[in-house]
Chain A
Amino acid sequence: MSVSHAGGYIADPRIRPIEWLPWVLALLCYFFAPSYLPLGSYVLTMIIFALSLDLILGYGGIITLGHSAYFGTGAYAAGILAVHLTGEPLVGLVAGTLAAGALGFLTGIVILRTRGLALLMLTLAITSLCFEVANKATSWTGGADGLGGFSVQPIVGLFKFDMFGKTAYLYCLVVLFACWWLVRRLVYSPFGASLTGVRENNLRMHAVGAPVYRRLVIAYTISAALAGLAGALLTQTTQFVGLKVLGFELSGELVVMLVLGGVGRIYGAFIGPLVYLMAQDYLAKQFPEYWYFFIGAILVLVVMFARGGILGILDAGVARLRRRSR
């Protein structure tokens, strides 16, 4: 039993017992660590964001430093909707998802014609463009002051957001569960397998007659939509949208989190944000002036010694134990 989820035609798609562990832990956290729930909500949101990136980076092999463009678009769409039309959260989620998905499709059909460094530069450019638009369109976005002062109604009219973040946490958890189910489904499907094929050998995928470009655009659009969903979730649980959601730093941080957890294995997107954000929380308290140094040090260690991220280390450990027990 390996902890990786590669998909493909001989992969067993059934859910393994260990895959329930994150959900059990998340519920335990709800009951036994109530003071961490606001941080927990943020972690859950970032896991959705990281899952969206894993789909294109880990499975499709699309390198991007601009995924915050879609996260931010979803965040602003949900915020603007709450200010002008309705604070109903589910409608906001749908709006954020659709807005980001549409942007993902439109930008995808342009930038996915390129590869490698050119693609990386274009993803950066798109984030910068979105950032400037949000910065200048102050009447809609609040510009550098951010967008706040809207209220989020109870979910389906029943569950009110409370000041302790209990509802928000469960809300994030349920949405993450849905996203996880979807991404897992995709990864194990023929579509997911063909994405892996594109990552492994783009040239040969063309040679077996695969519509590579079309597949990548579809994957990119789905990924952007999920990123937008995560953005909308952040808007609703914090009741504020700042320009940071469109920043290049967030895109970079996201890649760091995913690499830390492990790329192309679903649960890397769970463990990366969790470890990164908890370390950030702890280190920022202990060493308020230079905590970023430790984050950098962790990343250097992971990239140098554990290319598969934390899950890669676990995989190697499990393999070694098994060999010994034989």
Chain B
Amino acid sequence: MSVVLETRALCKSFGALTVAEQIHFRLERGARHALIGPNGAGKTTFVNMLTGRLAPSSGQIVLGGEDITALGQAERVKRGLGRTFQINSLFLNAPVVDNVAFAVAEREGVAGRMFRPASHYRAVLDESMALLETLGLAEDARLPVVGLPYGKQRLVEIAIALGLKPRVLLLDEPAAGVPSMESHRILAVLEQLPEDIAILIIEHDMDLVFRFAQRITVLTQGSVLAEGSPAEIGADSRVREVYLGERHA
């Protein structure tokens, strides 16, 4: 399989504190890949470097064969790198459909147009509606996001990222803050995402990780401890020791 996203010897330090050390990572096309690790392992730092919010101290990030290390967030998005946020980052007072339409319009390159009314861009609206429908949010499309229950807001978070039609989708704790009774809905949505999108999921909910991921990378103290299939990771004694110890021993 071909690699869509790769990091080579990625490092990040803040002064004497090293939060990412020599991270070599590959994400294959259509992958269902999970990144796990205890709190403070550097997962969020890693994601922020991938998306361009944080510049690495050294190393390279390669997307689809192109070195994107020096590119800004917007350029990376244009090249097919989408993300969701651990804590909802939505347009709260805008209708649900506009949240998605903002992303679709940017991707289509029409978001800066000034003269025709936005509602005349049928293609943007139709695509946004269709996307919401697949996530089971069609009925809420016209409501402001702020009035939705948190679980649904998490789905809007994913919908915005999907509006970018990404080749690579980074899901930063998609089930965070969602009551466990509702997290199956999130999982159901994740399972029906288009197969050609490579997905990297960062998640604390181990049930979700082991049901969803085909490959798992374990990060501790800023470096890769182990990588393998869920069965291999589950059986790895080092991983059990530092991470799964309390729950799976």
The reply to whether the CB of A165 lies closer than 8 angstroms to some CB of chain B is: no
Contact of B103 among A8, A13, A208 (CB under 8 A): A208
Binding site for A on B (CB under 8 A): 51, 73-75, 77-78, 83, 85, 89-95, 97-98, 101-103, 105-107, 110-121, 124-125, 128, 141-142, 160, 163-164
CB <8 Å contact, A9 and B124: yes
CB <8 Å contact, A207 and B51: yes
A-B contact pairs, 30 of them (CB 8 A): A8-B101, A9-B97, A9-B101, A9-B119, A10-B95, A10-B142, A13-B117, A13-B118, A188-B117, A188-B119, A189-B115, A189-B118, A190-B105, A190-B110, A190-B111, A190-B112, A190-B118, A190-B121, A193-B98, A193-B105, A193-B118, A194-B105, A197-B102, A204-B85, A206-B73, A206-B74, A209-B75, A209-B103, A209-B107, A210-B106
User: Secondary structure of the A side of the interface?
Assistant: helix
CB <8 Å contact, A193 and B114: no
Within 8 A of B (CB), among A174-196: 185-186, 188-194, 196
Determine how close the nearest CB of chain B comes to the CB of A223; give it in whole angstroms.
13
Knowing A208-B77, A211-B74, the reply to whether A10 touches B111 (Cβ < 8 A) is: no
B residues less than 8 Å from A204 (CB atoms) = 85, 89-91, 160
Contact of B111 among A185, A207, A210 (CB under 8 A): A210
Among residues of A, the one whose C-beta sits closest to the C-beta of B72 is A206
Determine how close the nearest CB of chain B comes to the CB of A315; give it in whole angstroms.
14
CB <8 Å contact, B89 and A8: no
The reply to whether the CB of A19 lies closer than 8 angstroms to some CB of chain B is: no
Among residues of A, the one whose C-beta sits closest to the C-beta of B121 is A190
CB <8 Å contact, B90 and A193: no
A residues less than 8 Å from B164 (CB atoms) = 208-209
CA distance A218 to B85 in the complex (A): 28
A-B pairs under 8 A by CB, number: 128
CB <8 Å contact, A7 and B77: no
Contact of A208 among B92, B116, B142, B163 (CB under 8 A): B163
Contact of B102 among A10, A194, A214 (CB under 8 A): A194
Contact with B along A254-294 (1 / 0, CB 8 A): 00000000000000000000000000000000000000000
CA distance A193 to B101 in the complex (A): 10
Among residues of A, the one whose C-beta sits closest to the C-beta of B122 is A9
CA distance A10 to B110 in the complex (A): 16
A residues less than 8 Å from B74 (CB atoms) = 206, 209-211
B residues less than 8 Å from A188 (CB atoms) = 117-119
The reply to whether the CB of A111 lies closer than 8 angstroms to some CB of chain B is: no
CB <8 Å contact, A207 and B117: no
Knowing A10-B98, A209-B74, the reply to whether A194 touches B114 (Cβ < 8 A) is: no
CB <8 Å contact, A210 and B116: no
CA distance A222 to B53 in the complex (A): 30
CB <8 Å contact, A196 and B94: yes
Among residues of A, the one whose C-beta sits closest to the C-beta of B116 is A189
A residues less than 8 Å from B85 (CB atoms) = 204, 207
Within 8 A of B (CB), among A1-60: 6-13
CA distance A188 to B116 in the complex (A): 8
CA distance A274 to B160 in the complex (A): 41
CB <8 Å contact, B117 and A200: no
B residues less than 8 Å from A197 (CB atoms) = 91, 94, 98, 102
CA distance A275 to B104 in the complex (A): 41
Among residues of A, the one whose C-beta sits closest to the C-beta of B142 is A10
Determine how close the nearest CB of chain B comes to the CB of A137; give it in whole angstroms.
35
Contact of A194 among B111, B119, B120, B128 (CB under 8 A): B111
CB <8 Å contact, A8 and B73: no
The reply to whether the CB of A83 lies closer than 8 angstroms to some CB of chain B is: no
Contact of B114 among A191, A200, A208 (CB under 8 A): A191
Q: Which of A12, A186, A207, A210 has the most CB of B within 10 A?
A: A207
The reply to whether the CB of A215 lies closer than 8 angstroms to some CB of chain B is: yes
The reply to whether the CB of A201 lies closer than 8 angstroms to some CB of chain B is: yes
CA distance A214 to B73 in the complex (A): 14
A residues less than 8 Å from B124 (CB atoms) = 9, 190
The reply to whether the CB of A121 lies closer than 8 angstroms to some CB of chain B is: no
CA distance A203 to B77 in the complex (A): 13
The reply to whether the CB of A119 lies closer than 8 angstroms to some CB of chain B is: no
Q: Which of A8, A12, A206, A214 has the most CB of B within 10 A?
A: A8
